[in-house]
Amino acid sequence: DIQMTQSPSSLSASVGDRVTITCRASQDISKYLNWYQQRPGKAPKLLIYDASNLEVGVPSRFSGRRSGTDFTFTISSLQPEDIATYYCQQYDDLPYTFGQGTKLEIK
């Protein structure tokens, strides 16, 4: 199975801060990585697909990029409604696997 190592596991930041989360794949997965947001008590929501493509309707403060097997997810200016847990997910091979999640809190 492809392992997705996500860091950090938790993060505390202030409104307006730039926030970055990293996901590293255990092998080459090309661009086949998606990012999801899960607000407390809710189902996950797709934010970014194929490493860097913003889903329709998702604010432009969210972005993603790929460098080899390292993927970064960035919120350019943190907003209060961004409080959530964020997950990366690879679909290069079955079983699809998720990162462990990053819980984002407001300072």
Partner 1 sequence: EVQLVESGGGLVQPGGSLRLSCAASGFTFSDYWMHWVRQAPGKGLVWVSRINNDGSTTTYADSVKGRLTISRDNAKNTLYLQMSSLRAEDTAVYYCVREHMTPGLDSSYYFDSWGQGTLVTVSS
Distance of closest approach, residue 91 Cβ to partner 1, in angstroms: 5
The yes or no reply on residue 22 touching partner 1 (CB under 8 A) is no
Question: Of 49, 62, 71, 73, which one interacts with partner 1 (CB under 8 A)?
Answer: 49
Segment contacting partner 1 (CB under 8 A): 12-20, 21-29, 67-75, 89-97? 89-97
Encode the chain in three state secondary structure.
CCCEEEECCEEEECCCCCEEEEEEECCCCCCCEEEEEECCCCCCEEEEECCCEECCCCCCCEEEEEECCEEEEEECCCCHHHCEEEEEEECCCCCCEECCCEEEEEC
Segment contacting partner 1 (CB under 8 A): 16-24, 63-71, 72-80, 97-105? 97-105
Q: Which residues bind partner 1 (CB under 8 A)?
A: 32, 34, 36, 38, 43-46, 49-50, 53, 55, 87, 89, 91, 94-101
